[in-house]
Structure 1
């Protein structure tokens, strides 16, 4: 194999091949311009002038501009500012994982709270009061464990949360190169020994032609540094030896060259004032410069920054541009739809809808410089007999270094195929049949007659195993098998297969794979069985692709099989058991010319023609890199209030049961091309389809435990990890575990109660049955008892009537007795009064004494209460419990008042009562009046009636 030397430039590899030893086409490594993504104010919503940039461990990018620091996680832009709203002039991601930022009068760190919000934390208070008056912090670098903040007149060395102030004079540049802390000031370039704060001069300002340094970079070896000045001069510094190399820019302006970096693939990039970017290879050979190549959105490049992936950001005076130099995909041509590619003698030819283009690819450090050779629709480009033939809408053309020659006078040529086992004979496939073509050294390519007997399109044709047998697939009519005569002038036999085991006659193509003829359809891949005269499923490829996929193209190239599957390009190695490689080519999905897909495999790359142009993929760069997918914010709504959730909680967070609009925002910061990132997600269910939206909202979720998962990928083949977020929505109180436990306990109790009730019911039923039987047995006895009770009731009623009559009789007797008693006492009283009168008329003292004795005896008899006790006893016997009821209701009544109540109860008049109680009628009235008060009897109510009611109430009770 011939030796190939590849030159790397601006993300491209171009073959450097000596003309004396032309390389075979598959040995040439062709890669084009990197993709450039433009970001303007509409994207980042901030000031358009950018000064500095850095990248953290996740791949989140920080850009300093006049509005502060813009933070880009690959999906969203956020902004944080200094307390004094200063512009951000310097940024640095330190080894401790902290991003530091500096501006006018302020410097500090970028922090992040538990909810994912960025914030600035000032370090100004670490300085003494007299040192806090600082101007702009122009640079931040890290050296020997210290973070160095450079201002114009001092260095601030931060270590262990303490700051050491190092005075300087007019320090305008600082950097750490080759493990040296370099400071440039008005005297020149110096090395600072941080431990002793000792400055030693490396290069004087006079040695640098009096111009300020714009960049100091790692050189071509470990001992060399490259120094550029603002005038554009490049110097080499090895030890203390300074060598003037050359000028990178023309003109005499002092500010031609502004910034420079050395990339991971050893390309030097320099940003200029008005000519965009200049690039040099590792040997300092000029690669590319100027706006014609880079096509940035602004000519002034204020800063260049390389990410860990190897992409370069251009910080412009007006916007940001991302140079995707690490991508395996580069652009060769964008001006037409590409149908075929051919490389012959280090010249690349393209067949497009606008004609044929060519460009030299050997010994060329420039991107492809396309020359338009032939206009009109070109379909194919093929090399036969060392010559390039073009199938064209207008006919067949031969393309050589001297010009373009039309072959024959035909039109509508798809392509040419060589006839196997026939020297110098070819079939020209046209819109309406096949034409024999022969080649000779003397006459070149000559068209013979059209092959008779077949007038269909020959776009998709393949020679079969038999001599003179060809398969021709028509996009709509199915498959034809042709048998040509030995002179290839006519068709001897023609078979037309519309189905014969095929799913349909549409979209069938024919290819060779591992020596076998296979047919691709909308539903699997088939092979023709000669013995059964049927098409049968071809298991080896169906196992690789599946039988529900539409495979439109199959190309074998070494150990790889390239294919177009459902509008997606991919390849597999070997028999396909290792899986299909589709992800690196996702960006091309749907951009192919259907039925005329252009795939041109090479040794280390593959060229792919699409409706959008020609692209090159570096196969060595098709490595599956995995980036970290992160959740940037989780919010939810409770009522009318929107709240933020903690992102990195140790335990799943709990959300109230009335939560709604749970929103997840996510990103994958490390992707090479943020514009092609896609996401898929799931919430304890199947994965969603891939989507470019970096947010997912769930309006309502039922109470329970959930885990939200989101993955990512880019259309350039990069993948992202799965980010997870666990949370739970609390149930209402009556659906909590404690409530369910209570329900279970209550349910158990209910079951036990039901069991007892069932048992009790069974027992009751049994008892009722026994009772019914007993009732039946006792029914007669009960009836007899009823008769007996009825007899006894009649007897009792009779006795009751007798008792009631007895009470009436006794009551009459008592009344009569009482009346007699009253008469008797009245008589005795009258006798007493008469004796009193007689005493007055007695003449002797003895008579008067005798009368007095008689009166005294009468008084003693009247005051004797024995007869009253007898009266009360008889009264209680007649009116049972009357006194008990009276005493219960009126416990304060005296014995005399009780007697009066009994006499009134018997309806005796005052006149009748007076002698019984041995008082006057007036005294009875007074006693009755007092008794009324004691009994609380109304003035209009009869006392005897009141006492009757009281007696009746006692009897009812």
Structure 2
């Protein structure tokens, strides 16, 4: 008997020791008091139907909508001890106070105290630690009594020392501290039970939880199961052992085979299928004292003595974190002989029972681990080594090495890439042969299908090595820069028998027919993304912009892992995913490593719970608007709209919004707020979408609002504008009519003027014609007079020559006088002058005005010159000789002060 007890105790001790060892833990998201802006202690935590988190905090009620935290305090500033969401209300309990919070039409949580309904029921310094619902009624539990809220009335249900409440098979079950448990009917009377609860006598019951037909009863040091007829202790003695040491505080039953035990001293105990995992401060919790728990949508939420944590219990990811920092950044992982081996920047480590121990002489940077023929090799800063037991056996120590690559043409032999070039390694004969023609460092190499080798220099680009035989080359060719850029730090791969390169954020593939690299269109959607794993039709990419990870099979399966999945823990520029088996990948981190079950991830994605985003509050900076009707915002108040949105914690990556209307906007609302500035007036629709990955929406909700037009575009002003337009049209019409009349008058005036001008022109033409006729008549008359005078003067001359021949001299003299009178006939001059004035009006007046000293004889000469008569023609008219005319012209020129080079005739014709 004693031997059997010892064996049992020994097995328990071994189990507990195993539980204490380092382990791979699921993702833990921590929210510190600084993060949520409240007190350190959180007494209870709960989740409503939408997925919103509520925590009973030292400073009030904490609300987490998945994007932002909000702290709501009671007027009394009391500590809230209990929280319970039910039927769109959040019931809370505190010191001498209980009530509920509900959202008003503006989306704000408003508190209503139920304490005034107590009336004659005096509270005796009670603090309310638990709230539950039973048949749609609400029960508030303090340590001294239970109160029932129904039909807007508060009644004391019973007065007992109660430490836990639960409902079970139509009864309200109350734990009475160390006095066992009691079953109550709806009216407050105790119900009889057939079970014997003596085993609970003297044990402090801290929690009760039902699961289907069983009631689980947790004491500080053990767990019991009541099935309706009998009470039995939990079958696994390890639970009793652990609780005796760590002290139970809260209980969650996920299934009969999976139980969560929250302790006061060492975090939580996760019991599943006979296996135990402990999650405490060593695992990543902020505190070891668990005051409250709630499980929903794969996550276990913990209300801690300091902070709030969320554990993704069934995550496809699990993590090993080196909190000491001794291991450093991990560059490669290998599973070898049932142990993990880690290559890091501080050396090589073997994990034995998940406890790391450094391989002897492995200090310094280890780049890569390679399994070759059942042996494990390390590419190290000091050379190349084989790992035997817990030591480094040197293969080559003349230079550091990066990696191995098996020769496709000589299976069983490996190309070794190292700091000074390339070498061939024969693992069977342990023979190493340098390729002396390659005298530059090679970080990675791949074999082309023609047997040639592509080699990536760590800094200077890519080389193409054409083999002559196994160890010599016919040609070594350095590739020119791609897209005109230098080939710094290229990443070289062979995918589906194609040589591809990632360089300067773009993907290229080698075209053997053209003998050059060209854009790799199949991978264009992964520009800006490094390839960190390729094999068996599966690929992992890391986005350089935000360190998010994309899993794809390049067909139908695409899964985005947001950057917060790894929390900036990937080794930047040296990210590495290693396949452990068909379903599990190992991921190198800068402080440990992670394990990913890809099948589990795919299965979760198929059944994942995606929350629906919603609007919490809509305000313009001055006031909030009702969410029960379409908000209508005045134009002046619409310049800076603030919309608080929520998207309860789920598998979706982020919240995306799209605004449609007169203005269009879109973006992400990762912090829970959307600010819309300077929108035009009109109707708008805001769509909120929970996104699985960029471009892939899960759930969408819409919110509509209206921005009123500015005052100058209001209905009244539009009516005024219509009146103004009508008035303006009338004025314009009147002006146009006036303008038309004016234009018509102008046309008439113009027509009359043109008509008059035409008449004047005709009159002028008639007068000109008459003048021409008169001018001709004047010329003819003048010429006739000149001819007459010329004839008379010739006669006079002839008579003068033969005057002595005349007998009657008196008679001759009389004839001569008559001829003189005929030549100098004043009447003829008057007739000439009259006719001349008709043709050349104002000529004499203008000449006299300019030259007032001219005589009548001078004017007569001027008139003849005006008619363009020659001296010979003028002489008879003036009754003088041609010589006399010339003399007269000379004198006239002097009187008019004209130089000899001025033509007197032309001067008179032009100027008078």
Are the counterparts in 1 of residues 243 and 263 from structure 2 also a CA contact under 8 Å?
no
Are the counterparts in 1 of residues 689 and 700 from structure 2 also a CA contact under 8 Å?
yes
2:614 aligns with 630
Q: CA deviation at 1:589?
A: 8.4
Distance in 2 separating the partners of 1:658 and 1:692: 25
Q: CA deviation at 1:696?
A: 4.4
The answer to whether structure 1 residue 215 and structure 2 residue 207 are counterparts is yes
Paired residue for 1:69, among 17, 36, 61? 61
1:320 aligns with 308
C-alpha spacing 1:86/1:734, structure 2 compared with 1 (3 Å): closer
2:139 aligns with 148
2:383 aligns with 395
Are the counterparts in 2 of residues 657 and 730 from structure 1 also a CA contact under 8 Å?
no
Secondary structure, counterpart of 1:627 in structure 2: coil
Secondary structure, counterpart of 1:734 in structure 2: helix
Are the counterparts in 2 of residues 678 and 714 from structure 1 also a CA contact under 8 Å?
no
- Correspondences of 1:140-179 after superposition (within 5 Å): 140-163=131-154, 165-177=156-168
1:496 aligns with 478
C-alpha spacing 1:116/1:204, structure 2 compared with 1 (3 Å): same
TM-score (norm 2): 0.70
C-alpha spacing 1:625/1:117, structure 2 compared with 1 (3 Å): same
2:9 aligns with none
For structure 2, the 5+ residue unaligned runs are: 1-21, 758-912
Paired residue for 2:218, among 225, 228, 232? 228
The answer to whether structure 1 residue 537 and structure 2 residue 526 are counterparts is no
- Correspondences of 1:796-807 after superposition (within 5 Å): none
Q: CA deviation at 1:38?
A: 3.9
Q: CA deviation at 1:263?
A: 4.0
Q: CA deviation at 1:393?
A: 0.6
1:242 aligns with 231
1:427 aligns with 415
2:544 aligns with 566
1:477 aligns with 460
Are the counterparts in 2 of residues 429 and 435 from structure 1 also a CA contact under 8 Å?
yes
Q: CA deviation at 1:458?
A: 1.9
The answer to whether structure 1 residue 436 and structure 2 residue 419 are counterparts is no
1:862 aligns with none
C-alpha spacing 1:618/1:99, structure 2 compared with 1 (3 Å): farther
Paired residue for 1:298, among 256, 264, 287? 287
Distance in 2 separating the partners of 1:346 and 1:744: 87
1:841 aligns with none
2:432 aligns with 448
The answer to whether structure 1 residue 108 and structure 2 residue 99 are counterparts is yes
C-alpha spacing 1:291/1:178, structure 2 compared with 1 (3 Å): farther
Paired residue for 2:330, among 338, 343, 364? 338
Q: CA deviation at 1:93?
A: 1.7
Are the counterparts in 1 of residues 448 and 499 from structure 2 also a CA contact under 8 Å?
yes
1:806 aligns with none
Deviations 1:589-616 (A, max 9, x none): 8754455331123433432213343223
Distance in 2 separating the partners of 1:251 and 1:751: 94
Secondary structure, counterpart of 2:648 in structure 1: coil
Paired residue for 2:357, among 367, 371, 391? 371
2:744 aligns with 766
Distance in 2 separating the partners of 1:76 and 1:569: 22
Secondary structure, counterpart of 2:721 in structure 1: helix
Are the counterparts in 2 of residues 435 and 447 from structure 1 also a CA contact under 8 Å?
no
2:339 aligns with 347
1:460 aligns with 444
The answer to whether structure 1 residue 287 and structure 2 residue 269 are counterparts is no
C-alpha spacing 1:112/1:251, structure 2 compared with 1 (3 Å): closer
C-alpha spacing 1:759/1:321, structure 2 compared with 1 (3 Å): same
- Correspondences of 1:443-842 after superposition (within 5 Å): 446-467=430-451, 469-486=452-469, 488-499=470-481, 504-522=486-504, 524-542=506-524, 544-545=525-526, 549-553=527-531, 555-566=533-544, 568=547, 570-571=549-550, 573-576=552-555, 578=556, 580-585=558-563, 587-588=565-566, 592-593=570-571, 596-601=574-579, 602-619=581-598, 620-621=600-601, 623=605, 625-637=609-621, 643-657=622-636, 660-671=639-650, 690=668, 692-697=670-675, 700-707=678-685, 725-751=703-729, 753-755=731-733, 757-770=735-748
Distance in 1 separating the partners of 2:756 and 2:664: 78
Q: CA deviation at 1:392?
A: 0.7
Paired residue for 2:374, among 386, 389, 398? 386
Deviations 1:611-635 (A, max 9, x none): 3432233432352643233333333
C-alpha spacing 1:178/1:340, structure 2 compared with 1 (3 Å): farther
C-alpha spacing 1:217/1:719, structure 2 compared with 1 (3 Å): farther
Distance in 2 separating the partners of 1:777 and 1:235: 127
Deviations 1:875-904 (A, max 9, x none): xxxxxxxxxxxxxxxxxxxxxxxxxxxxxx
Q: CA deviation at 1:553?
A: 2.0
Distance in 1 separating the partners of 2:566 and 2:43: 35
Q: CA deviation at 1:350?
A: 1.7
Deviations 1:91-136 (A, max 9, x none): 2122x23221223333222122223322221233445534776833
Q: CA deviation at 1:254?
A: 11
RMSD (Å), alpha carbons: 3.8
Deviations 1:186-240 (A, max 9, x none): 5422333326844224655631251121223356xx544432212x122233333
Distance in 1 separating the partners of 2:690 and 2:216: 40
TM-score (norm 1): 0.67
Are the counterparts in 2 of residues 501 and 535 from structure 1 also a CA contact under 8 Å?
no
1:25 aligns with none
Are the counterparts in 2 of residues 338 and 351 from structure 1 also a CA contact under 8 Å?
yes
- Correspondences of 1:847-866 after superposition (within 5 Å): none
Distance in 1 separating the partners of 2:541 and 2:242: 53
For structure 1, the 5+ residue unaligned runs are: 1-29, 638-642, 780-957
Secondary structure, counterpart of 1:455 in structure 2: coil
Deviations 1:333-370 (A, max 9, x none): 3442121122223322221111112325xxx7xxx333
Are the counterparts in 2 of residues 249 and 256 from structure 1 also a CA contact under 8 Å?
no
2:110 aligns with 119
Distance in 2 separating the partners of 1:463 and 1:255: 58
Distance in 2 separating the partners of 1:553 and 1:120: 53
1:870 aligns with none
C-alpha spacing 1:658/1:295, structure 2 compared with 1 (3 Å): closer
C-alpha spacing 1:130/1:536, structure 2 compared with 1 (3 Å): closer
Q: CA deviation at 1:61?
A: 2.0
C-alpha spacing 1:505/1:133, structure 2 compared with 1 (3 Å): closer
Q: CA deviation at 1:395?
A: 0.8
Distance in 2 separating the partners of 1:742 and 1:263: 70
Distance in 2 separating the partners of 1:472 and 1:204: 78
